[in-house]
Structure 1
């Protein structure tokens, strides 16, 4: 599955709303802030994440792309 910053931002906003927060209210950060937040998460994962394959001919550690 490809990581999608826009979808992640919307999921974060929805989860916050479901828990009683108002992430897009007048004095809240707004969607652009949540999108930037999500982009930071996606960038961190794609830069640093690795997956370990522990057996078989493909055994080793691979970067998540």
Structure 2
């Protein structure tokens, strides 16, 4: 499964709403905050995550993309 900034943003918004946050209104930061968090999380994972494969012909360590 590929990482998706937009899907993660939607998940974050839904979780924030479940905690009582209001995503509407001129002073709401829910959308902007969710987008910033999702962008940072996906970028960090794609830049630094590695997956070890310990056996078989594909043994090695691979970068997450």
Unaligned runs of 5+ in 2: none
Unaligned runs of 5+ in 1: none
- TM-score, with structure 1 as normaliser: 0.81
Matched pairs, number = 64
RMSD: 1.5
Shift of 1:2: 1.3
Counterpart in 2 of 1:45?
A: 45
- TM-score, with structure 2 as normaliser: 0.81
Shift of 1:34: 1.1
